[in-house]
Structure 1
Amino acid sequence: MEEFEQYVLKNFPGKPPRLWLRYVDDTFVVIDQNEQDYFFKYINQVDSNIKFTQESSKDNRLAFLDCLVQVNPDNTLSTTVYRKPTHTDQYLQFGSHLPLVHKLGVIRTLYHRADTIISEESDVQKEKDHVRSALQQCGYPDWAFEKAATTKDTPQQNNTGDVIASKARVTIPYSTGLSERIKNTFKAFGIATSYKPSNNLRSKLVHVKDKIPKDKQSNLVYGLTCSETSCAQSYVGETKQSIKARFNQHRRGSSNENQDSAVFTHSKLSGHQFNADDIIIFDKEERWFERGVKESIRERAEQPALNKKGASVSCYHTPGTPP
């Protein structure tokens, strides 16, 4: 877009815009009215992959992002907060099962927007009064506004008052009361904590992507169990490939018998089978080292008999000899 707009502003054959401001794909342009349609037609012919739509000011007002820009009689510009006609003033409910810091963040964010976007001081308080009224309808008590205005998370300090830099940051699921105690414990060791809501309507009702079929999933720690009910020997492994490709490898022998999969060896000597539908996916991890760690942890937990690291007694024996 930088190359595009530099080319357009340099090569437009008419009178170029007096002002061109862009945020990602939204532009705010001041241009002579008799050049507007000509310029709009020109920029849509420069690149077949870049097409613009336009909206002109009405009653000397124009919305840009969340600002409403007003052209004053003296040709100066003033700004205030813009809300779409469909805006409902519905914000995060105070009774939601979310950390208090998130709810106070709503107040601080909306107040900060009023302080930074609105150009006329007389309109700032009017906007804050509107925000307070809307949030009160969402259950926000008076003490929440006072707390949001006076307190913020303060950094950990030592006995001399020097700020202690956080050694690390962890993100934990939020559970009322418990998560706050965990945060205080981490804070004593210089570890910063963030909360992650673990249950919300979006996660339950909205699925942005189609679910990947089990046999096409990859970067997994998985488990296999012998389908013979009297045997039930198991195996834990990890793979970067799809689970289908890895299972097919378990079903084939290697050119070197010493390198045969433990699953294949068990099937070969016992005549038992493993079913792809019975594969259990324990973890998903794209990073190789971390995936190996999770595999080791799962091995210790499951104690799979077929893993080479585990000592096991097989359920099969050579015909004609004592079992």
Structure 2
Amino acid sequence: MYMTTVEETTFREHKKPEIYGRYIDDIFVTIKETDVARKLSDVLKRNSLLNFTTEHSQQKTLPFLDVLVKQQGQFKTTVYTKVTNAGRCLNARGECPDAYKKSVVSAYVNTHHIVKRHRLHNELDRIRQLLTNNDYGDQTIETATEKKENRRILRIQHDDEKR
């Protein structure tokens, strides 16, 4: 809610960029002119208590959250893992509700939707290994993977029926 108010105030003062996306307090925007980007950043800072930082693409590539965004005429995405990522997540043997553990598995499995089909197998292998290293069982991982795949197939079938 807070960021919505910040955005409303900001875009009364500054033109909203053509491509603008936000997840909580992380903002993805494309602006060609450096001075326009700096002005937008200044207006956001002035209208908020948050500390805004900016990152610029390098060779038309920019990591945003867990996604590596490449601009090649259109945007191409793949999973992004920081170099500092040690491959740790909530351990399956940790003392917390099972629902939390289930959501960890689901979150990892659900990230594979941004991967091109020819890289999907490698990404699922990486996810399986990460979860196995954090003591999640094969059955738990496969159940989540199958559930996601079944939903994808149903969505494709539904889209085909619409045509």
TM-score, scaled relative to structure 2: 0.66
Contact 2:66 2:79 (8 Å CA) reproduced? yes
Q: Where does residue 18 of structure 2 map in the other structure? A: 18
2:125 paired residue among 124, 129, 132: 129
Q: How many residues align?
A: 145
State the match for 2:52 in structure 1: 52
CA distance in 2, matches of 1:64, 1:135: 23
Consecutive unaligned residues in structure 1, runs of 5 or more: 152-323
Contact 2:91 2:135 in 1 (8 A): yes
> Which residue in the other structure is 1:78 paired with?
76
| Residues 245-290 of structure 1, C-alpha deviations (whole Å, 9 max, x = no match) | xxxxxxxxxxxxxxxxxxxxxxxxxxxxxxxxxxxxxxxxxxxxxx
5 Å-filtered alignment, 1:1-323, equals: 1-12=3-14, 17-40=17-40, 42-43=42-43, 46-47=46-47, 49=49, 51-72=51-72, 75-96=73-94, 103-115=101-113, 118-149=114-145
Distance across 1 between alignment mates of 2:56 and 2:44: 17
SS in 1 for 2:89: coil
Q: Tell me if the contact between 1:95 and 1:139 (Cα under 8 Å) persists in the aligned partners.
A: yes
Tell me if structure 1 keeps the 8 A contact 2:66–2:81: yes
Task: Please state whether the residue corresponding to 2:119 is helix, strand or coil.
Answer: helix
Structure with greater helix percent = 2
Output one character per residue of 1:66-119: Cα deviation in whole Å (capped at 9) or x when no partner: 2221212xx21122222232211123334446676654543333111212xx15
- Alpha-carbon distance between aligned partners in 1 of 2:137 and 2:48, rounded to the nearest angstrom: 53
Mapped contact 2:20–2:30 kept (Cα < 8 A): yes
Q: Distance in 1 between matches of 2:104 and 2:57?
A: 31
* CA distance in 2 between partners of 1:93 and 1:111 (Å): 16
Checking the alignment, whether the CA contact within 8 Å between 1:44 and 1:51 is kept in structure 2 is: no
Q: Per the alignment, in what secondary structure is the counterpart of residue 35 of structure 1?
A: helix
1:31-63 Cα deviation digits (max 9, x unpaired): 123434542464157437455221111222222
Contact 1:17–1:32, Cα closer than 8 Å, also in 2: no
Matches of 2:98 and 2:8 in 1, distance apart? 46
2:20 counterpart SS class = strand
Q: What SS does the aligned partner of 1:145 have?
A: helix
TM-align CA RMSD: 3.2
State the structure with bigger RCO (CA 8 A, min sep 6), 1 or 2: 2
Deviation at 1:3, TM superposition (A): 4.2
Structure-1 separation of matches of 2:98 and 2:56: 42
* Mapped partners of 2:45, 2:112: distance in 1: 39
Taking a change above 3 Å as real, the CA distance of residues 9 and 89 of structure 1, as seen in their structure-2 partners, is: same
